[in-house]
Amino acid sequence: MAAQPSKLKLWGGRFTGKTDPLMQMYNESLSYDKRMFAQDILGSQAYAKATCKAGILTTEERDTIISGLERVRQEWASGTFVIHPEIDEDIHTANERRLGEIIGTHIAGKLHTGRSRNDQVATDMRLWLRDELNEIEGYLIEFLRATVERAEEQIDALLPGYTHVQRAQPIRWSHWLMSHAFMFLSDLERLRELKKRVNKSPLGCGALAGNPFNLDREFLAKELGFDGCIQNSLIGVADRDFVVETLQWATLMMNHVSRWSEDLIIYSTAEFGFVTLADAYSTGSSLMPQKKNSDSLELLRGKSGRVFGQMAGFLYTVKGLPSSYNKDLQEDKEPLFDCVTTVQNSLQIATGVVATLTIYPEKMKAALTMDMLATDLADYLVRKGVPFRETHHISGACVREAEKRKLSGIDQLGLDVLQSIDERFGEDVLEVFDFERSVELRSSTGGTCKASVIKQIEELTKVLQRAPNGVVEN
């Protein structure tokens, strides 16, 4: 007697021998792709509507399938779905098997007409990723808003700006915050572009050659909220550029998280003492009771390497594949799933860190040294008409003289010594030795003066208030 269809693998008709148990384990993906259960059911419900529209299903069969699939969805959602490991290779097989048990295999077996797991899995992944990217976008916006809020509140704090990890010129703490905010703003813009390419429908492409039942793919795309159809069936089932691009986007975004974390790790050391993380985002030492470690930031820095590895690994998987679908593409899910989870968690942790850390403006100010105003001293002479290349040399001579005299800074040289180095120094040169003045002189667009930083905050806030479609949110 022939085996019942519900007990057969979807591809089992061609084969008579048993599958090696190790091969069965090696081949299955349900253990991780079951997270797409809702998207798989949504796609199947839409497909039932389209096959009815094409005359394959009656309206009664369509409605029976749709209601049966809703029961399957509820079982997954409630945790009562029973997996049959010997049959359920993946989420598609599991859902179809269970649907047959609920409504009967005769009607359930019609659902797969003209459809392949090749276009089904591609559809599920795009639907799932679309939902997850929307969540990521929300988390990224929350992080940016928390950063902007802190920049507004603490705009008066000054600290050293660094190049080559050496103190360079004074800047506002808010200017530092906004420098990272604009990197993350670029990530937000790239994410919104990525979402457009993810949101294309492959459903109806079949195994590779298309659908032979005059299926209305545009109807399917609209039903599932896609922006349109992928126009070639071969690429529809084989394209994983949307996965690669997501991993690439995440790699760059997490690289920005890592650089942001590195700065804060340095600033939180006892040697700097500019910031302290809240206890909620710190840990202690198992040996040294005095330690307060910035483990949240170190983990964020470390997770960036994890995401990069996922991107590099999957890109290497797809680089030599022949056309159309190949089973290698099953390797797309685990790195993508893990990457999405990592990014979502990381953005929430980063938001918590920036919203709750404490800054120490006096320690920041104490780290400012007068040698950081050497460029301001050169600029003083530039304003008197001296070429900058000459003033740079003169200012350097002043720094050298202060070091020679073992003075704490060039401001300690006094007017007489400064004029002995260059007679064009006037009494007003002493006004140069003011950190607030130095910061306020950087008043061009993008500079660190208060008005410029406020403008940066305003510009970024406008973008955050604007939804992807250009509508301004309340």
What phi and psi, each to the nearest 5 degrees, are found at residue 161?
-95, 145
What does DSSP assign to residue 287? S
The answer to whether residues 273 and 359 touch, using CB atoms and an 8 Å cutoff, is: no
Q: End-to-end CA distance of the chain, in Å?
A: 66
Query: Residue type for 385, please?
Result: G
What phi and psi, each to the nearest 5 degrees, are found at residue 81?
-65, 130
Whether 285 sits among the annotated catalytic residues: the reply is yes
What does DSSP assign to residue 363? H
Report the distance separating Cα 78 and Cα 151, nearest Å.
Answer: 44
Which one of the listed residues 31, 67, 186, 285 is annotated catalytic? 285
- CA torsion 127-254-317-84 (nearest 10°) is -50
Concatenate the DSSP letters of all residues of 179-223 into one string.
Answer: HHHHHHHHHHHHHHHHHHHH--B-TT-TTTT--SS---HHHHHHH
Report the distance separating Cα 265 and Cα 269, nearest Å.
Answer: 7
Which tokens go with 345? 């968690």
Which one of the listed residues 78, 164, 286, 444 is annotated catalytic? 164
What phi and psi, each to the nearest 5 degrees, are found at residue 472?
-80, 130
The answer to whether residues 354 and 144 touch, using CB atoms and an 8 Å cutoff, is: no
Whether 175 sits among the annotated catalytic residues: the reply is no
What does DSSP assign to residue 466? B
- Name the residues annotated as catalytic: 164, 285
